[in-house]
């Protein structure tokens, strides 16, 4: 297939474009987007294209990720998603408003498939009339790099100060009392000042994926204190690395992380105790990391992700469409 998709979420995009299709990615002239998440190069199937040229291109299906993508696709293609061309809306996020009553922007339509990245998202969004599916994350396997040589607790959080309670940044001092926090991600350099923890926060930096995976895997455990997210890709990457994980039991995490992979609980004191234990017993940490990797490879492999997307895209292109669709706009004949 030839798929029109915008570069919105780097980590997800890095996995999606590794399938067997051609991926048309609109870019402005001179825009440097030859890489996906954290400097990872895109494969040959990615075709970066001037938006003005899209009407000349054959497109089989559109993957939407934002409300504005519907109008933008119609403007660029001259065809309305869901009515004139098959479309799938990919919902990356948990609801941000009046949970659990927040209505999805696609809820009044039944002509576009709504794909949630987690079962929790599907449960919590009011998806209305939209046909829904769940396509769980999959990531390229970075390999079992875990050494655990540093008695640090690795965290990967983008913009941890701005997002604060969403990312569980306020919980970090409780863990830092046990062992230093080694922080990776965008604006993680703001953490020491915001938390007032001095050298209890070690800056890993905002590294490219290859360097980050190697450095993170040298930490004794991976800490995931996030309160409200679909399912952090950094958590799945840590599990692929064979790291033991200490995880706040929120949103999709209970499905992704079995207790034998480290520790998962909504009781922060219990998580602090488990972190202390894993830091003190490297052999146990290593065993739990192996369990984490086994689960990640089974549930969140790139192949499983690609196979599921192939199914949903094939179904979307086979769905009958009629003039006028169900988006309240008049048909063109």
Domain identity same for 76 and 100: yes
Domain identity same for 8 and 122: yes
Whether the pLDDT of residue 282 is over 90: the answer is yes
Q: Within a domain: residue 187?
A: yes
What's the CA gap between 104 and 168, in Å, rounded? Answer: 25
Q: What is the mean pLDDT of residues 125-154?
A: 97
Domain identity same for 128 and 156: no
Domain identity same for 295 and 157: yes
Domain identity same for 163 and 220: yes
Q: Which residue has the higher pLDDT, 230 or 155?
A: 155
Read off the pTM: 0.90
Residue 156 is inside which H or E element, if any? strand 150-156
Q: What is the mean pLDDT of residues 17-32?
A: 84
Domain identity same for 156 and 277: yes
Confidence of residue 214 (pLDDT cuts 50, 70, 90): very high
The CATH number of the domain holding residue 158 is: 3.40.50.2000
User: What are the structure tokens assigned to 318, written together?
Assistant: 């086979």
Q: What is the mean pLDDT of residues 127-140?
A: 96
Q: Within a domain: residue 324?
A: no
Q: Within a domain: residue 105?
A: yes
Q: Within a domain: residue 143?
A: no
Helical H runs in the chain? 10-16, 68-77, 119-124, 160-163, 172-176, 191-195, 209-216, 233-240, 253-256, 268-280, 282-299, 302-318
- Phi and psi (nearest 5°) for 2? -110, 120
pLDDT at 40: 66
Domain identity same for 188 and 128: no
Whether the pLDDT of residue 76 is over 90: the answer is yes
pLDDT at 42: 83
pLDDT at 41: 78
Domain identity same for 133 and 188: no
Q: Which domain holds residue 247?
A: 150-299
Q: Within a domain: residue 327?
A: no
Closest C-alpha to 225, from 255, 183, 277? 183
pLDDT at 28: 73
* Cα-Cα-Cα-Cα dihedral sign, residues 255, 123, 250, 152: positive
The CATH number of the domain holding residue 51 is: 3.40.50
Domain identity same for 202 and 247: yes
Domain identity same for 133 and 192: no
Q: Within a domain: residue 328?
A: no
- Give the pLDDT confidence of 319-331 residue by residue, as tens digits: 876 544 445 443 3
Domain identity same for 133 and 195: no
Q: Within a domain: residue 333?
A: no
For the chain, the C-alpha Rg in angstroms (whole number) is 21
Percent of the chain with pLDDT over 70: 92
- Tokens 């997210």 map to which residue? 229
Whether the pLDDT of residue 9 is over 70: the answer is yes
Lowest mean pLDDT among 10-14, 131-135, 154-158: 10-14
- Give the pLDDT confidence of 35-71 residue by residue, as tens digits: 555 556 788 899 999 999 999 999 999 999 999 999 9
What's the CA gap between 67 and 230, in Å, rounded? Answer: 18
Domain identity same for 313 and 274: no
Look at the chain and report how many structural domains it folds into. Answer: 2
pLDDT at 200: 94
Confidence of residue 27 (pLDDT cuts 50, 70, 90): confident
**Local structure of 108: helix, strand or coil:** coil
Closest C-alpha to 40, from 177, 208, 204? 208
Percent of the chain with pLDDT over 90: 85
Q: Within a domain: residue 183?
A: yes
């Amino acid at each position: 297939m030839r798929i029109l998709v915008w570069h919105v979420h780097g980590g997800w995009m890095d996995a999606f474009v590794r399938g067997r299709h051609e991926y048309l990615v609109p870019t402005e002239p001179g825009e440097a987007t030859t890489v996906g998440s954290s400097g990872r190069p895109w494969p040959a199937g990615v075709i970066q294209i001037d938006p003005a040229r899209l009407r000349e291109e054959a497109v089989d299906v559109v993957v939407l990720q934002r409300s504005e993508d519907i109008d933008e696709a119609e403007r660029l293609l001259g065809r309305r998603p869901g009515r004139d061309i098959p479309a799938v809306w990919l919902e990356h996020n948990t609801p941000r408003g009046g949970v659990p009553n927040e209505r999805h922007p696609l809820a009044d339509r039944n002509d576009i498939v709504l794909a949630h990245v987690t079962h929790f998202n599907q449960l919590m969004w009011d998806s209305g009339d939209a046909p829904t599916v769940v396509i769980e994350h999959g990531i390229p396997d970075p390999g079992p790099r875990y050494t655990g040589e540093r008695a640090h607790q690795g965290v990967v959080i983008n913009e941890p100060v701005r997002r604060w309670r969403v990312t569980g940044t306020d919980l970090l001092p409780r863990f830092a009392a046990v062992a230093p926090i080694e922080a990776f991600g965008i604006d993680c350099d703001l953490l020491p000042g915001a938390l007032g923890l001095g050298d209890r926060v070690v800056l890993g930096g905002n590294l490219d994926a290859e360097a980050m995976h190697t450095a993170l895997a040298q930490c004794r455990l991976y800490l995931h204190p996030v309160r409200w997210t679909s399912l952090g890709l950094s958590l799945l990457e840590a599990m692929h690395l064979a790291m033991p994980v200490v995880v706040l039991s929120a949103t999709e995490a209970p499905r992704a992380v079995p207790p034998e992979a480290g520790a998962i609980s909504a009781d922060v004191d219990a998580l602090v105790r488990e972190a202390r234990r894993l830091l003190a017993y490297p052999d146990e940490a290593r065993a739990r990391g192996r369990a984490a990797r086994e689960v990640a490879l089974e549930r969140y492999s790139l192949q499983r992700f690609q196979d599921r997307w192939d199914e949903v895209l094939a179904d979307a292109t086979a769905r009958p469409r009629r003039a006028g669709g169900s988006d309240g706009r008049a048909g063109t004949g």
